Structure 1
Amino acid sequence: MENIMLPKPHKILAVLKETNAEYTFRVAYNQPIDYNQFFQLSIPKVGEAPISVSGKGQGYVDFTIRKIGRLTEGIFGLQKDDTLFMRGPYGNSFPVADFENKNLVVIAGGTGIAPVRPLLNHFVQHPEICQNVYFMAGFKNLDAVIYADELPKFASAFQTTYCLDTEAAPGFRQGFVTEYIQNVPFADFDDYNIAIVGPPIMMAAAAKACLQEGAAPEKIWVSFERRMSCAIGKCGHCKINDTYVCLDGPVFNYTKARNLFD
């Protein structure tokens, strides 16, 4: 019987520096992955952590990782052609098929852009299957902007709003991304969906702002990127009330997610 907790070795194909704190690791992988699923990444004798997929393509998968602990510091020491251990993918995904041929609003805070990057690229590559896409992304400051080279691509394909919390810069508005949700024309949409990813306090505020603009709760989807540990519902670290985030999520419709925020 296969041990579902046993990580397998995968070759690192490339390492891209996004900021001083975030790098993207491209890893060899050739199995299907749904949008917003995650893997458990590990280094033997160091530890493991859940990391969302930030990109996928023929023969590879991307992980954008922030250096915040012992494991991620170890991963940052790896280079092209080194080995990274993985198990997964785990979790559910955004209902992308339901997003197609409708208006879509994507709101991301900080590294929350990483899990929605594959979703955004899906609609960039297939403009014929969507109506209007409104993409809103907020970062702390210019030094915290990830995927800077891709933001113009998204701006050419979508209606975009890029924000910096604490400073002004060309191409960015100043302030929190939630302040600009009022500019989304929800009243003009015949049908739509909203995807929100970021820190919990940001997701809660963004969902509330959408509701204030007339959005329906059942049209809002959020992704809880934290709390997970074992990824198979055994350790209980991700449990909120009777919900296991790793098994039932990380994507939740707001009709349920509104009871999961801390």
Structure 2
Amino acid sequence: MSNNPYLPEHAEVIDIIQETDVEYTFRLDTELEPTFGQFLEVSIPGYGEAPISVSDFGDGWLDLTIRRVGKLTDKIHELKIGDHLGIRGPYGNGFPIDKFKNKDLVIAAGGTGLAPVRSMINYFYNNLDDLKQFNLLTGFKNSESILFKRDIDNWKESIDLLITVDEGTEKWEGNTGLITEYVPQIEISAVSDMEVVVVGPPIMMKYTVKEFKKLGIPEEQIWVSYERKMHCGLGKCGHCKIDDTYICLEGPVFNYSEAKELID
């Protein structure tokens, strides 16, 4: 095996799940063992490399949920079962799930921000006794952009789950509006027992965190995940650097008490 940290390994695609018109989940055969919230560098020779969050993992496999947005991701969406994808990692710091145990956990995820927390949701879904209470808020642009519908069908059986869409249609009979509108509805038994995770577009995270702070949740009990122009994953290229902080090394998961100082 090469000692070159930039050299990817080739992982076979063993399953492909269409989530939406532009988002597919690729299950890869690999022995990599990520933690909740880490990412991989994903590549195809001649098409480039990009950081992709691990959306779930298990013994001998992991999932990457990839949105079609450009040259590399367009090519990835052409892959079929049995094809191979270059991967290296995992990189970054993930969520401190041991800190969440025996607490009231709230996860607020907007759009594709649901992908980086999907594995953690599945973990606690299968280990509900590890939490006192579990609330999940998810928001999407419209009903056609809802991710992981099969997972959601399972989660809502045991988790206090709320889904909202920005734009309602005649086909959508559920909640409408932004996640921020529903944060005040969360029942809080004791602020000291709460841990909050907020993941999504920057503007969504900014205002969702504000709503949780209005409820009296201390910044030290709020966690966010930054997706920011990561490139090498090794803290060498500087693409993701904010001041003295390398997001790929010290993040992508940050406690909000630290993250609030990371102004791009």
Query: Does the CA contact (< 8 Å) of 2:191 and 2:217 recur in 1?
Result: no
**How many angstroms does 1:58 deviate by?**
1.7
1:221 matched residue in structure 2: 223
Contact map agreement 1:200 1:261 (CA 8 A) in 2: no
Is the Cα–Cα contact under 8 Å of residues 161 and 172 in structure 1 kept in the other structure? Answer: no
Structure 2 unmatched runs, 5+ = none
> Identity of aligned pairs, percent?
42
Aligned counterpart, 1:209: 211
Q: Confirm or deny that 1:114 pairs with 2:132.
A: no
Query: Where does residue 53 of structure 2 map in the other structure?
Result: 52
Partner of 1:129: 130
Change (3 A) 1:261 1:104: farther
CA deviation map 1:24-53 (0-9, x unaligned): 000011232110000000001110000000
- 1:59-116 alpha-carbon deviations (Å, 9 max, x no partner): 1000000000110001001110001000000000100011111110000000100110
RMSD: 1.3
Extract structure 1 runs of 4+ deviating beyond 4 A.
Answer: 168-171
- Taking structure 1 as the reference length, the TM-score comes to 0.97
Range 155-164 or range 45-54, more displaced: 155-164
1:152 offset after TM fit, Å? 2.1
Is the aligned partner of 1:14 residue 2:15?
Answer: yes
Residues 180-199 of structure 1 aligned to structure 2 (within 5 Å): 180-186=182-188, 188-199=190-201
C-alpha separation in 2, matches of 1:118 and 1:67: 21
Letter in 2 for 1:44: P
Match of 1:140 in 2: 141
Report if the CA contact (8 A) 1:204-1:261 is conserved. Answer: no
1:229-248 aligned at under 5 Å gives the runs 229-248=231-250
Task: Identify which range, 69-78 or 180-189, moves more after superposition.
Answer: 180-189
C-alpha distance in 2, partners of 1:210/1:135?
14
Q: Which runs of 5+ in 1 are unaligned?
A: none
CA contact (8 A) 1:36 1:94 kept: yes
Per the alignment, in what secondary structure is the counterpart of residue 186 of structure 1? coil
d(CA) in 1 for partners of 2:254 and 2:48?
A: 28
The one-letter amino acid of 1:121's match is N
1:167 aligns with 168
How far residue 171 of structure 1 moved from its aligned partner, in angstroms, is 6.0
1:186 touches 1:214 (CA, 8 Å); kept in 2?
no
In the alignment, which residue of structure 2 is the partner of 1:105?
106
For 2:263 and 2:161, the matched residues in 1 are separated by 27
